[in-house]
Amino acid sequence: MSFVPANEGISKLKPYQPGKPISELERELGITDIVKLASNENPLGCSDKVKEAVAAELAEIGRYPDGGGFILKDQIEAQFGFGHERITLGNGSNDLLEMFARAFVSEQDSIVYSQHAFAVYALVTQAINAQAIEVPAKGFSHDLDAMAAAIQANTKLVFIANPNNPTGTWFEEAEFEAFMQKVPANVIVVLDEAYVEYFPENFNSLKYLDQYPNLIVSRTLSKCYGLAALRVGFALASVQVTDYLNRIRQPFNVNHLAMVAAVAALKDEAFIEKSREVNKAGMAQLEAGFKALGLNYVPSRANFILFDVQADPAQTFNALLKEGVIVRPVGIPNHLRVSIGTEAENAKFLTALAKVLGLDAKA
Ligand SMILES: *Cc1c(COP(=O)(O)O)cnc(C)c1O
């Protein structure tokens, strides 16, 4: 027992379990040639233009970054059409998710999110000791009607993810619009679009930002842009909401190399297109692989797939580790999540999966 008192929310907090790093597994099992398909990273890494841009700025490491993030906000403005006064930069979008809760929610308030939603929503709610209202999912998807109906007088914020992680499920524009119309204007809606670049057929949420001053759209450079190690995300919102967020934002929360990398990454549309193609091909490869093994999966609009192992996911996860493949248990019975890799990585995963489950692939 610790005698150091933490605040009540923190003392009950179960920390986020990140995916196993490759180096850790190498040490534990003494094997090399490990494939990590656990954290939805871009299997292509990042754009070469990002590497050049970062290399050119190494001499600046001794200086504090621009706390206002001018160059990055300029690039975001040029690309997405929102001025600096509507942009908040985050040390990854996780940093932003925490800012949203801290800026708008007090202890006596509640936050609404879906069952099977991104794990960080529950964590930030707990960390500020607010009340969590977890709304049952419909299948594996957000039930937006039920979520709107679940809003209480003390609800200050709703987290929704499109597509959602770890399920890959998505909602359409009509559902989103109907939802926004039902949410009271004093309740913040955080629309987390961490994977939006992968499926441009997803509706353009940004056009709703003018109509709904309580809407925050959150984006990250960690996934399709390939900057997971550098930690950059950004939020677009009304001027008023952005002003509050920037009051609590740490002044130097995004480092200089990360901002320089983000500018280069945002400019390199060819890299995004290539990443999208690799992801589409990999998704088709994995879906065909699951079908051949007779395994069910949840259709996804992200860079990962949730699939049904028809067995204990922890055992399957451990057996796959021994084969040199890291996937992700996500707390959903019988299911594991696999990130879409390169063709060779996907093939290695499918072979290992067939082996550990004792299944034969049917062509
Ligand atoms: C990965 C992910 C994020 C955040 O990633 P950062 O690296 O912190 O930017 C946010 N939301 C969802 C749904 C994610 O899957």
Residue 161 Cβ inside 6 Å of ligand 1? The answer reads yes
Mean pLDDT of 250-264: 97
- Ligand 1 centroid to 93 CA: how many Å? 6
Residue 298 Cβ inside 6 Å of ligand 1? The answer reads no
pLDDT at 235: 98
Residues contacting residue 297 through CB under 8 Å, at least 6 positions apart: 286, 287, 290, 305, 306, 307, 308
How many Cα atoms occupy the beta-carbon half-sphere of 100 within 13 Å?
Answer: 36
pLDDT at 363: 62
Q: In ligand 1, which atom is closest to the CA atom of 90?
A: 9
Q: Look up residue 121 and give its amino acid.
A: Y
Mutate to test the pocket of ligand 1, among 89, 96, 192, 301 (most ligand atoms within 8 A of CB): 192
Q: Is 35 exposed, middle or buried (0-12, 13-18, 19+ CB in 10 A)?
A: buried
Q: In ligand 1, which atom is closest to the CA atom of 161?
A: 13
Q: In ligand 1, which atom is closest to the CA atom of 231?
A: 7
Q: Distance of CA 138 to CAs 134, 160, 229, 247, Å?
A: 12, 14, 34, 37
pLDDT at 255: 98
Q: Look up residue 273 and give its amino acid.
A: E
Residue nearest to atom 5 of ligand 1 (CA): 93
Q: Is the pLDDT of residue 1 over 70?
A: no
pLDDT band at 6 (very low <50, low <70, confident <90, very high): confident
pLDDT at 125: 97
Residue nearest to atom 1 of ligand 1 (CA): 194
pLDDT at 2: 58
pLDDT tens across 192-231, in order? 999 999 999 999 999 999 999 999 999 999 999 999 999 9
Mean pLDDT of 146-155: 98
pLDDT tens across 67-99, in order? 999 999 999 999 999 999 999 999 999 999 999
Provide the greatest CA pair distance for the chain: 61
DSSP string covering 177-220, please? HHHHHHS-TTSEEEEE-TTGGG-TTS--GGGGTTT-TTEEEEEE
Q: What angle do CA 271, 275, 280 make, to 5 degrees?
A: 150
pLDDT at 13: 81
> What is 8-45+270-357's CATH number?
3.90.1150.10
283 vs 361, higher pLDDT: 283
Helix 22-29 to helix 313-322 angle, to the nearest 10 degrees?
80
pLDDT tens across 326-360, in order? 999 999 999 999 999 999 999 999 999 999 999 98
Mean pLDDT of 233-257: 97
pLDDT at 263: 98
- 302/61 Cα distance (integer angstroms): 34
With 0.85 as the threshold, say if the pTM is over it: yes
Q: Is the pLDDT of residue 237 over 80?
A: yes
Residue 118 Cβ inside 6 Å of ligand 1? The answer reads yes
Residue 222 Cβ inside 6 Å of ligand 1? The answer reads yes
pLDDT at 220: 98
Residue 228 Cβ inside 6 Å of ligand 1? The answer reads yes
- 335/312 Cα distance (integer angstroms): 8
Share of the chain above pLDDT 90, in %: 89
CB 166 within 8 A of CB 306: yes
- Ligand 1 centroid to 328 CA: how many Å? 15
The radius of gyration of the chain from alpha carbons, rounded to an integer in Å, stands at 21
Tell me the β-bridge partners of 134: 113
Q: Determine which of 26-35, 176-185, 207-216, 305-314 has the lowest per-residue pLDDT on average.
A: 26-35
Share of the chain above pLDDT 70, in %: 99
The ranges assigned to domains in the chain are 8-45+270-357, 48-268
- 90/155 Cα distance (integer angstroms): 24
Topology adopted by domain 48-268 = Aspartate Aminotransferase; domain 2 (3.40.640)
pLDDT band at 28 (very low <50, low <70, confident <90, very high): confident
The phi-psi region of residue 209 (left if phi > 0; otherwise alpha if psi is between -120 and 50; otherwise beta) is: alpha
